[in-house]
Structure 1
Amino acid sequence: MGLKEYIKDNILIFDGAMGTMLQKKGLKLGENPELLNIKEPDIIEEIHREYIESGANVITTNTFGANELKLKLCNLEVEVAVDAAVKIARKAKGDSNTYIALDIGPIGELLEPMGTLSFDRAYEIFKRQVVQGAKSGVDIVLIETMTDLYELKAAILAAKENSDLPVFCTMTFEENLRTFTGCSPEAMVLVLEGLGVDALGVNCSLGPKQLKPVIEEICNLAHIPVMVQPNAGLPTLSIGNETKYDVTKEEFADTLCSFIDSGVRVIGGCCGTTPDYIKELNLRVKDKKLTAVERSYYSAVCTPSKVVRIDGVRIIGERINPTGKKIFKEALKNGDFDYILNQAVSQIEAGAHILDVNVGLPEIDEPTMMHRVIKEIQGIMDTPLQIDSSDHKAIETGLRYYNGKPILNSVNGEDEVLDRILPLVKKYGASVVGLTLDERGIPAKAEERFEIAKKIIDRAAHYGIRKEDVFIDCLVLTVSAQQKEVQETLKAVRMVKENLGAKTVLGVSNISFGLPNRELINETFLALALANGLDLPIINPNVSGMTRVIDSYNVLYNYDKGAEVYINNYANVEVSTAVTAKGDGAGKNTSSNNVNVEHDLKYIVIKGLKEEAKQATIELLKVKKELEIVNEYLIPALDEVGNKYEKGELFLPQLIQAAETVKNSFSILKAEIVKSNAKSISKGKIIVATVKGDIHDIGKNIVKVILENYGYEMIDLGKDVPVKTVVEEAKKHNVSLIGLSALMTTTLRSMEETIKALREDGYDGKIFVGGAVVTKDTAERIGADFYAKDAKESVEIAKEVLG
């Protein structure tokens, strides 16, 4: 029986924590675990054998960090490390029916736009691991402990495009039901199922009980096997300096068994789980009866942090499109991305749920521009996008580099178009708009359009694309030229909705070309289309009459329960002002040529419009001093973004973009300070370092960026910093605040030693600590003054200590 068939009706048991076992067997602090594949293969083989004897069906290769960026620190080639690890696993497996999983962990750097690592570079790093793993003879590609959905997508594509192996994927979630970068369980399920992985789920970060809400949500959504590998609870430090965990093997096994009833089919352990945990797990599940779990399908698109379900009227904003827009065309030609971003921001503020992105101009490189615009938009907002193009390369570029699940606009009923585009839709897990036209053009009659719609849905099903992911556009014709066909469009919408059960989309404003008072025609037609079953109107949401029609429709058709949204939008608003009630500020020009300096710098920072920040700062300097700008605009803006981050209204990408926007403003202010010999705007010095033995510095780097932009002078000692170096640098710079980071359980002890050494040397300042394995209790136990759960908390600590 093949592996894919096996996990449909059986529980697959993975092994436990390689790192924990290596630590028990003498792994030195700071030593690269993959080096042991070469130096001490017998130790790795022994660990594999212990897990196999404990009942594991799958053993995981010692390659979690075997990527070229991490291995170059110890002069080890990826191919050598991976091949050695697989050979050890195969030897340990012997004649048993054990599967071997190639373990692939995060690269250790943030991808663009949050960081500097490109998607293509990440893909190549993962590809190198996958190619060697497949060549060496693994059975599964396991991509685990991911926090960034974009990095995970790069890894999945590398696995599926360079091997035919089953692909299992897990992300690591926090107690707020989000990953470190803000990805939700639902977004993960939508994207990973779309990309065609064979199992998905969660590992690491927390114990089984803390992960229960995340696992339940995943199980309620997933249509493929769910995988769970929790930690053995939360880490603590024992008297013997060995990292301990607070969940026993019995508690661990009991909780994981309860997940099986919800649909979990792949189980195992992460940090702290030894062979004893796997043995206990095996004893509990070997006779457990499985019940089939059926999940319904639904229509939805997403970014990592926002899912838009198409279960009511959802507005697609139409303004990111050069057709008939002279200024937009010039912006595309000139690379004026701030103008484009302003179009995006204003539509979201006016009520758009999804944004159509069309950058097609004959005189530009459309695939390159599509990539750039998608990256820029996704850098500042979490609204799903509709990729709109007729250029095949631009379509694939957009689908490949989009972070989440997009809509593709579009295919039509021509066989050649369907067979060229639908495989791309399937490969990248997108939804698609189907236009009811073919080589004969747009049929006059509704029945003919319906037949094309049915053909598109049937052909999509042939490629494995569900009806829920096909949105039918029955096509709006201009009423001034084809008046009779308007009724046919409305009739076709109703037929598609009632007889095919598919979602529908229309470009509403096409109806009124050539007529005076176009808004009146558009609004009336929109109301008629909604009544006939339109789900996704493509409109300009900044024309508030259109959004008013939708708001009132939702009340009249009982979608807006208790008229809650309607009352919130229109209570106490006069009719004459209701036109701009929802779009206040949405249509204004916030480009660099027309900056309202008393308002817009704060707005610009909050929205993450990096280039605009420079011009706005220059304008403000005409009426404000440098420190006034910092204290009256930049700090309040960062505080507002930070508060929204704390509340879960914004996530890490937006937090970083706001900080980077402030950095652009600071560059202008600092240059002005140098010219005028004004007082430095530094609020004090802070040292940050990732402790000895830990080579992960993503969290530390984020803290650095945020604090820097609050006006603190940051002294970054880097990663894997010796205790002695921290002590010497603290004395040299005479700092009052030090931040220490650790991501690995094995380096908690190093963090404690660093704090102890600082105190023994007479350092009387404050120390704050953070990182994935650090808790408030741990911070207190090792002698830290503060625990920073995230970058925002580090700002509050800095304010308390340094002002």
Structure 2
Amino acid sequence: MSITKIIGKRLLFIDGAMGTFLQESGLKSGEIPESMNIRNPALITEIHKAYLEVGCDVITTNTFGANRIKLHGTGYEVEEIVAAAMLHAKVARESIKSSKKHYIALDMGPTGKLLEPFGDLSFEDAYQTYAEQAIAGEKYAADLVIIETMTDTYEMKAAILAVKENTRLPVFTTFSFDDKGKLLTGGDIACAIALLEGLGVDALGINCSLGPKKMKKFLQEITALSSLPVIFMPNAGMPIIQDKKTVFEASPEDFAADMLDVALGGAQILGGCCGTTPAHLKKTIELCKEVAPKPVTAKSITVVSSYSKTCVIGEKPVIIGERINPTGKKRLKDALLKGDYDYVVEQGIEQMEAGAHILDVNVGMPGIDESKAMVRSLQDLQMSLTLPLQIDSADAEVIAKSLRIYNGKALINSVNGKEENMKKIFPLVKKYGGVVVALTLDEEGIPETAQGRLDIARRIIAKAAEYGVDKKNIIVDALTMTVGASPDAAKVTLDTLVLIKKELGVKTVLGVSNVSFGLPQRDVINATFFAEALCHGLDAGIINPGSDAMMNTYYSHNALNGFDYLCAEYGNYIENLTEHVAVTTTVEKQTTLFAAIKGGLAQKSYDLTVAELMSSEPQQVVANILVPALDEVGKGFENKTLFLPQLIKSAEAAQNAFAAIKEKLSLTGEVRDPKGKILLATVKGDIHDIGKNIVKVMLENYGYEVVDLGRNVECELIVATAKEQNIKLIGLSALMTTTVPAMENIIKLVKASEMPCKIMVGGAVITAEYAKQINADYYADDAMGSVSIAEKVFV
């Protein structure tokens, strides 16, 4: 029986940590845990047996890092490791005499790399990496796949597609959030759930990073949003040093008590991560044995997302910015023809700042490859802003390619009532997830009556169900026609809105400005029609958010209809409207360069810096514009209003600005002296260097010279390099608990050498308390924290 048939009938228990056992059994710092499948099969089998004997339903194979990226250079092959791991799990299962069925999950973890455009690993390379592992898992008879400890929604998407497109195995997925409920790349719980449900996984949840006491604060939000079974697999608390050993703070009794709360709170699948042992799971299973799982309830939430922000359609009116569409826009047409995607991003930023919640992206025009232009536009927009995007194309192939690379759950524009069109679009919606705009037209054209449009909408929703697309993922476009050609056009559209809401109970959308086509003073007609549509049940309007008339209507409507508590948004909007003041040309230039860096506009940052240098000294540009811009981005990152992609993109823009300054200085023979030299390294045995690379970029932008030794670096090499280059600050990174001892060893060697050198440490498993216990001088919780530490050291 498939494990998906059992979920909900009783609580399911997944095993706990593997690495904790391996460390205790002699796994040395620097050795990959997966090698033990070959070198010590009996140990792996015994670990699996120990979890099965205490009552676990699912054991996870020792394949967390068994992918081609992490195995590169080790001498091991992916299939070799997976085959051995599956064999040991089967031997353990066969040794247990029980009538209860036990399941073997192929364990898949992150590659340790950031995907493009944030990093250097392409989406398709990540996909192929996971596909190879998943295919091997199915070949050697895994019962399911668990994709765990993910901190990037994009990598998770690649892994899910790889499993679903290449195997028939059930897919369980868990993200690893920080204590604020954020992923490395900025996503939150709502974003994660929107993506995972859209991609059709079998269960979702949270694991690692935190102990159950801190992690369970997220359970209520997860269960409130998820229509799928919930997985909960915390660490045994956080790591601490005891008797010179790394241990985890939660006892089996404390762990189990918290997990009982989790079971009662609605999680259907329980397990453990770092530091958990059979004793932790034994106590949990005993304490929860009388608990019946809460039923999984379907949620009727219509939601789209980016990698870091969700937009619920139907809670209050939503604005979809219409400006990224070349129709009637010569400047945008020229930009697309020239490949000037900075201009596309500028249009997106302007609409976001004007109040848009979602951005429509349409790049269809003669003379360009629409698929390539759409993919590039989506990627650049997602690097620079956080809003969900609407993929707008009449070409199903363009939509397919766009949905595959989109990071989040997109709004798709559109499907219509033509049979051929529905055959092309609905399979894409089902496969990739998304909310699709349903146009009320078919082979006969656009009905002239509200009833005719309602009939088409009903038929589209029925057909969607045949493809497994829930009606919560459909928003109906009643179609706006110009009143200049048909006097009854607006009334028919408004009547259609009312019927759709009453008869079908789905969300609605309109391209509002079509109503005034061919008429003078279009904003007057548009704003009035927008107000009427909102009052007739419009949930989302595709409008120009740069239009004062339209936005006046929007904020006024919300204030008058209970969507704006105490008129707070209306008050802020009016205040901003009246703050436009004249500024000097110089200030405009500075503000523009500042905005270009903040917005991550690389080429524009270079061009504007060159212009600034015609009237300002390089030091003035750095001190008055570049550093303040980086500081503002850094503060946004620290306050969780900006996220990793924006941090990286702004850093790249700043690098371009500094390149222009360097060119100017070279003409006069001047040199920009570094503020200090810093050594960075990921410790021996750890091949994850995402965090370290981000720290490097930020430190360099703030004027520090960085000596980057890379990842998996020997302790002695770090110390020797620090001595040789007279390093004053060392930054050490570790992601895996198995490699943390190497960090402590380096600190001991540096301290023993009596070098005048400070050490800062960071990484997913490192805490401020742990840093103190291993005698590090500083703890950096993120890239900007590293900058602050450097500024203290190099005063």
- Alignment TM class, shorter chain as reference: over 0.9
Q: Identify which of 419, 425, 428 aligns with 1:421.
A: 425
Matched, 1:628 2:631: no
1:461 Cα deviation from its structure 2 partner? 2.1
Q: Equivalent residues in 2 for 1:425-440 (5 A)?
A: 425-440=429-444
Q: Equivalent residues in 2 for 1:285-364 (5 A)?
A: 285-292=288-295, 294=297, 296-310=299-313, 311-364=315-368
**What does residue 242 of structure 2 align with?**
238
Q: Identify which of 723, 726, 749 aligns with 1:734.
A: 726
Matched, 1:618 2:615: no
Say which SS state the counterpart of residue 706 (structure 2) adopts: strand
1:455 Cα deviation from its structure 2 partner? 1.1
| Contact kept? 1:243, 1:746, Cα under 8 Å | no
Q: Identify which of 391, 394, 398 aligns with 2:398.
A: 394
CA deviation profile, 1:472-502 (whole Å, cap 9, x unmatched): 1111111111122221111111111122111
Say which SS state the counterpart of residue 31 (structure 2) adopts: coil
Matched, 1:492 2:496: yes
1:41 Cα deviation from its structure 2 partner? 1.3
1:616 Cα deviation from its structure 2 partner? 1.0
Say which SS state the counterpart of residue 268 (structure 2) adopts: strand
Say which SS state the counterpart of residue 323 (structure 2) adopts: strand
Q: Equivalent residues in 2 for 1:6-155 (5 A)?
A: 6-94=6-94, 96=96, 97-155=101-159
1:286 Cα deviation from its structure 2 partner? 2.4
**Identity fraction in percent:** 48
Q: Identify which of 676, 684, 687 aligns with 2:668.
A: 676
Q: Identify which of 267, 271, 280 aligns with 1:268.
A: 271
Q: Which amino acid in structure 2 is aligned with residue 144 of structure 1?
A: E
Counterparts of 2:546 and 2:673 in 1: how far apart (Å)?
A: 40
Q: Which amino acid in structure 2 is aligned with residue 666 of structure 1?
A: F
| Contact kept? 1:508, 1:522, Cα under 8 Å | yes
Matched, 1:690 2:682: yes
* Deviates most, 246-255 or 691-700: 691-700
1:100 Cα deviation from its structure 2 partner? 0.6
**What does residue 560 of structure 1 align with?**
564
Q: Identify which of 699, 707, 713 aligns with 1:715.
A: 707
Q: Which amino acid in structure 1 is aligned with residue 662 of structure 2?
A: K
Counterparts of 1:513 and 1:671 in 2: how far apart (Å)?
A: 50
| Contact kept? 1:262, 1:293, Cα under 8 Å | no
| Contact kept? 2:37, 2:44, Cα under 8 Å | yes
Q: Which amino acid in structure 2 is aligned with residue 481 of structure 1?
A: A
Q: Which amino acid in structure 1 is aligned with residue 2 of structure 2?
A: G
1:627 Cα deviation from its structure 2 partner? 2.2
1:295 Cα deviation from its structure 2 partner? 5.1
Q: Which amino acid in structure 2 is aligned with residue 48 of structure 1?
A: H
Q: Equivalent residues in 2 for 1:439-588 (5 A)?
A: 439-571=443-575
* Deviates most, 455-464 or 382-391: 455-464
TM-score (norm 1): 0.96
* Deviates most, 207-216 or 140-149: 207-216
Counterparts of 1:292 and 1:61 in 2: how far apart (Å)?
A: 29
CA deviation profile, 1:499-538 (whole Å, cap 9, x unmatched): 2111111111111111111111111111111111111111
| Contact kept? 1:605, 1:613, Cα under 8 Å | yes
Counterparts of 1:98 and 1:783 in 2: how far apart (Å)?
A: 44
1:259 Cα deviation from its structure 2 partner? 0.9
| Contact kept? 2:268, 2:294, Cα under 8 Å | no
* Deviates most, 691-700 or 409-418: 691-700
Q: Which runs of 5+ in 2 are unaligned?
A: none
Q: Which amino acid in structure 1 is aligned with residue 113 of structure 2?
A: E
| Cα-Cα RMSD | 1.7
Counterparts of 1:563 and 1:377 in 2: how far apart (Å)?
A: 31
Matched, 1:211 2:203: no
1:293 Cα deviation from its structure 2 partner? 5.0
1:78 Cα deviation from its structure 2 partner? 1.0
Counterparts of 1:641 and 1:464 in 2: how far apart (Å)?
A: 42
CA deviation profile, 1:40-62 (whole Å, cap 9, x unmatched): 21111111111111211111111
| Contact kept? 1:476, 1:507, Cα under 8 Å | yes
Counterparts of 1:452 and 1:70 in 2: how far apart (Å)?
A: 52
Say which SS state the counterpart of residue 16 (structure 1) adopts: coil
Q: Which amino acid in structure 1 is aligned with residue 647 of structure 2?
A: L
Counterparts of 2:47 and 2:565 in 1: how far apart (Å)?
A: 58
| Contact kept? 1:201, 1:215, Cα under 8 Å | no
Counterparts of 2:762 and 2:294 in 1: how far apart (Å)?
A: 42
Q: How many residues align?
A: 789
TM-score (norm 2): 0.97
Q: Equivalent residues in 2 for 1:375-414 (5 A)?
A: 375-414=379-418
Counterparts of 2:644 and 2:226 in 1: how far apart (Å)?
A: 25
Counterparts of 1:304 and 1:251 in 2: how far apart (Å)?
A: 35
1:377 Cα deviation from its structure 2 partner? 0.3
1:171 Cα deviation from its structure 2 partner? 0.5
Kindly tell me: are residues 124 and 344 of structure 1, through their superposed partners in 2, closer, same or farther at Cα, counting changes over 3 Å?
A: same
Matched, 1:637 2:629: yes
Moved over 3 A (4+): 293-296
Q: Identify which of 252, 257, 262 aligns with 1:254.
A: 257
| Contact kept? 2:370, 2:398, Cα under 8 Å | yes
Counterparts of 1:766 and 1:391 in 2: how far apart (Å)?
A: 58
Counterparts of 1:675 and 1:197 in 2: how far apart (Å)?
A: 58
**What does residue 198 of structure 2 align with?**
194
1:763 Cα deviation from its structure 2 partner? 1.0
Counterparts of 2:267 and 2:779 in 1: how far apart (Å)?
A: 34
Counterparts of 2:292 and 2:563 in 1: how far apart (Å)?
A: 41
Matched, 1:601 2:600: no
**What does residue 663 of structure 1 align with?**
655
Q: Which amino acid in structure 2 is aligned with residue 643 of structure 1?
A: K
1:196 Cα deviation from its structure 2 partner? 0.5
